Every structure is written in structure tokens, then in C-alpha cells.
């Protein structure tokens, strides 16, 4: 008898906790507003280095890039011999960033310029005609 009461209390407590968490989740989904990004002003650019970048030089390049106005400091990616960074194209452009970086230290690098045949291609890898894309758009519109 005592065992049954203890099990019932545990089950009721678990049910109440689950309902409480579900209610909090639903409240958050209903009241949360989507983040607003300045995506039309954000641009990605790349600088190619002639040799591989070691960790010391990577830190140096990152600190030099972070000092340039218009770059978002948390979005600098350094891999082997390529540096990819994001910048606000209302404040600066890739040519200005490249020139400022080269004036700080004599790096052996060149600015990556997109070939003309790739400039007109669509960059979104998602098939916008697929059923999963359309479903995700409907769910997104429902909650926003």
C-alpha cells in the first residue's frame, strides 16, 4: 500500500513537471520574436595567402583584421592559407580591408575576386521548390 502511494506521488510529480516545462516552452515559442539582422549590409570576403598560416600568424592576422573598422570581430575564419571574414559593406569593402591589412604587415597574400561566371550564380544551396523548404517556411510564418 505504502509503495503504491509513493509511486503515485512520483508519477504525479513527474506529470506536473512535464506539463510545467511544456507550458514554459509554448509560452516561449509564442512570445519570442525573431532576431533582426542587417543581412543586406553583411558581406563575406576572402584573402588567399601564398603559404600555410601557422597559429601564431593566424592570431596576428586576426588581431590586425579586428582593428579594421567595419569588420565583425567574431566572424574571422583562418584555415591553412585562406582567411574569410565578414564586413559591413556600408562602412568598408574588401579592397579597403585588403589594403589596410597589407599596410599593417607585409603579408604575402592576394585578395580573392570572384570570377565573372560565378558572380551570377544563386548562392543558396537549398532547393526552394522542395516540400521540406515550403513546410519550414509555413512553420516559420506561423510562429512569426
Residue 46 is assigned to a structural domain of this protein: yes
Bridge partner residues of 79 (DSSP): 82
Residue 138 is assigned to a structural domain of this protein: no
Residue 78 is assigned to a structural domain of this protein: yes
Same domain, 10 and 75: no
Read off the pTM: 0.56
pLDDT on residue 73: 63
pLDDT on residue 57: 87
pLDDT on residue 114: 83
Residue 86 near residue 75, CB atoms below 8 Å: yes
- Specify the number of domains making up the chain: 2
Same domain, 3 and 60: no
Alpha-carbon span 22 to 12, nearest angstrom: 15
Same domain, 22 and 48: no
Task: Chunk the chain into consecutive blocks of 10 residues (it has 144) and report each block's average pLDDT, rounded to whole numbers.
Answer: 84 96 90 68 86 86 87 75 87 90 89 82 74 83 73
DSSP-assigned letter for residue 75? E
Residue 140 near residue 132, CB atoms below 8 Å: no
Residue 55 is assigned to a structural domain of this protein: yes
Same domain, 80 and 12: no
Same domain, 5 and 52: no
How many CB atoms sit inside 10 A of residue 131's CB? Answer: 8
Domain range enclosing 50 = 39-115
Alpha-carbon span 106 to 31, nearest angstrom: 52
Tell me the CATH number at 76. Answer: 3.30.70.100
Give the DSSP per-residue string, 37-55: --GGGEEEEEEEESS---H
Amino acid at each position: 500500500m505504502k509503495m503504491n502511494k509513493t509511486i503515485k506521488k512520483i508519477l504525479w510529480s513527474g506529470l506536473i513537471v512535464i506539463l510545467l516545462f511544456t507550458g514554459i516552452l509554448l509560452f516561449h515559442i509564442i512570445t519570442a520574436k525573431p532576431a533582426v539582422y542587417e543581412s543586406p549590409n553583411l558581406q563575406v570576403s576572402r584573402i588567399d595567402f601564398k603559404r600555410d598560416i601557422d597559429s601564431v600568424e593566424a592570431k596576428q592576422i586576426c588581431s590586425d583584421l579586428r582593428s579594421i573598422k567595419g569588420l565583425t570581430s567574431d566572424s574571422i575564419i583562418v584555415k591553412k592559407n585562406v582567411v574569410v571574414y565578414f564586413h559591413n559593406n556600408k562602412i568598408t569593402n574588401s579592397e579597403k580591408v585588403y589594403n589596410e591589412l597589407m599596410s599593417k604587415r607585409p603579408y604575402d597574400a592576394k585578395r580573392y575576386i570572384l570570377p565573372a561566371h560565378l558572380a551570377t550564380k544563386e548562392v543558396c544551396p537549398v532547393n526552394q521548390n522542395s516540400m521540406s523548404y515550403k513546410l519550414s517556411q509555413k512553420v516559420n510564418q506561423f510562429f512569426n
